[in-house]
Amino acid sequence: MQDDTILHVKNLQVSFDTEGGTIQAVDGVNFELKKGQTLGIVGESGSGKSVTSLSVMRLIPRPPGRISGGEILFNSPTRGVIDLVQTSTPEMRHIRGNEISMIFQEPMTSLNPVFTCGAQVMEAIMLHQKIDQESAKKLTLDLFEQVQLPRPEDIFYSYPHQISGGQKQRVMIAMAMSCKPSVLIADEPTTALDVTVQKTILQLMDKLRRETNMAIVFITHDLGVIAEIADYVLVMYKGKVVEQGTVLEIFENPKHPYTKGLLACRPRVDIRLKVLPTVTSFMEEDENGELIEIEKSFEEVMNAAVQTRQEYLMRQVELADSKPLLEVKFLKKYFPVSRGLFGNVKKWVRAVDQITFNVFEGECLGLVGESGCGKTTLGRTLIRLLDPDGGEIRYDGLDITKLNEREMRNIRKDLQIIFQDPYSSLNPRITIGNAILEPMQVHKMYSSEKERKEKVYELLERVGLERSHYNRYPHEFSGGQRQRVCIARALSVRPRLVICDESVSALDVSVQAQVLNLLNELRREYNLTYIFISHDLSVVKFMADRMMVMNQGLVEEMGYSESVYNNPQEEYTKKLIASIPRGELGDIRAALEARGSAVN
């Protein structure tokens, strides 16, 4: 290994033994990581990127998993060059966390809920650095300041559930940085975060890299994020590296059809698309599973997806002729956060504060804002999953705030919601066919069980699943497929208004593109009306006819999506737009220069 190389992975093979045979999760992966370099590994779920990183940490569960071949050479500051595949378990325990650290995707599941945040970081420090409790506490508070946590002393004594997702991720970064590792592996660390929090986290990680000359392996499915932080990029597909190069080479001249697909399926902010290209727009698999490139250039695919100015104006005329399906006036929803000695409320959170707006029939209204702005509370209040504290909600002229539970049940089927996490939305003990069938039974739709079952089959096929999937359970599907099941269930009662609450935020960009295209097709086919809630302004811009920006329970700005994006009036909206990772060549060059990387 060269002196400036910290990690060299050679022909890595990782296998998993299952009842159906051996699965090759990682198949011949090779890469080098230099000191102070950020390596981006990108690909969809199942591509092998996380398994590759877990192999470096020697965290592959045995059984059923095993590193079946290859070398992972690590240039240890204390031990010299060693092969991590052959390293003993006690020695690996010293390296893990001390010289190679990892930030996992979901900080809530990575932090122990019964210990305070400070205690957990202190434990890691005392384990590896052999210092006393008082010194460990001081170092923890210094780290909390370094990762820009507000009120470090308060968060030190807070439990994970008492702080936000962005703050939990900062705690995880502080823990990973506590022993000043040579290599930091970040596995999807910003996937479910707001764009503003995501930008702060990316800037923080790069700042720590510069200050300590630490190498970073950054794993994500989003090439837009890779453009912000990486120097060199590996693109993985089904356990293999299909393309690699500098970040500028990958974005400026992608060679592999899979890379082209990943680049194309991100919602664009510079142009308006009527449909999102997907990976299948560029490639398909033959009978042997080999990739075949479709004879279409990147430009041809993108040009076919662009919405013309005339189509955009015609859509506005359609909306102008529509009647309001939902009229909201001075809606309020407050939550008590502190009470006095006798139970009287001393402080309220105004989650939704005197909000007024209309939603037109057949429209998609985008609701955007950071976590805690009130958008999810508003969505749930609109369909009476939460009872409002004041104001009116008129659905088709009827004020549903005045209806009792029995009266509300009669129109409940018209108002449906698709939640963020499809797995927790489905009962793991009920087959997906029965999950879709159940709402039809509750609302006594159709004349017989046979007819209802036939409708379930039709819905499964309509959302891109198969009839044979009827008797399968939720755990047998991928995240994107489970979200399709939730969409089918929402459509099973023929609703008029569907609230999509962060329904694609945790999906791969390619699966996200498929689900967004499906939602648009269904809206046109069934004349559905959507309220589309998201923290991702680029996704909302693609989906929504009009956009409503929320902040601290209030409406900051509202208007046609193009107008709000191209000419934002409020500083808060400008901040959200500025935080979107664009992946444009000019931005990449500027980011490379700021990081001190060589620009080819």
Residue 477 pLDDT class (50, 70, 90 cuts): confident
Q: Assign domain 313-578 to its CATH superfamily.
A: P-loop containing nucleotide triphosphate hydrolases (3.40.50.300)
Q: Are strands 345-360 and 283-285 parallel, antiparallel or unpaired?
A: unpaired
Q: Where in the chain is the domain with CATH 3.40.50.300?
A: 313-578
Q: What distance in Å separates the CA atoms of residue 312 and residue 317, rounded to the nearest whole number?
A: 9
Residue 251 CB coordination number (10 Å)? 21
pLDDT of residue 227: 87
The answer to whether residue 11 scores a pLDDT higher than 80 is yes
Owner of token pair 């209204």: 365
Tokens of 130: 């052999």
pLDDT of residue 192: 64
- Of 109-113, 145-149, 343-347, 447-451, the poorest mean pLDDT is in 343-347
More confident position, 288 or 94: 94
Alpha carbon distances (Å) from 152 to 110, 165, 174 = 20, 16, 11
pLDDT per residue as tens digits for the range 553-580: 999 999 999 899 989 999 999 988 888 8
pLDDT per residue as tens digits for the range 351-403: 899 999 999 999 999 999 887 788 989 999 999 999 999 999 999 999 999 99
pLDDT of residue 46: 78
pLDDT of residue 178: 85
pLDDT of residue 198: 80
Residue 502 CB coordination number (10 Å)? 21
Residue 598 pLDDT class (50, 70, 90 cuts): very low
Q: What distance in Å separates the CA atoms of residue 520 and residue 96, rounded to the nearest whole number?
A: 46
Residue 222 pLDDT class (50, 70, 90 cuts): confident
The answer to whether residue 210 scores a pLDDT higher than 60 is yes
pTM: 0.81
Tokens of 115: 């210990």
In terms of Cα–Cα distance, which of 228, 262, 190 is closest to 509?
Answer: 262
Q: What distance in Å separates the CA atoms of residue 458 and residue 453, rounded to the nearest whole number?
A: 9
The answer to whether residue 600 scores a pLDDT higher than 70 is no
What is the DSSP code string of 183-228?
Answer: EEEEESTTTTS-HHHHHHHHHHHHHHHHHHT-EEEEEES-HHHHHH
pLDDT of residue 337: 73
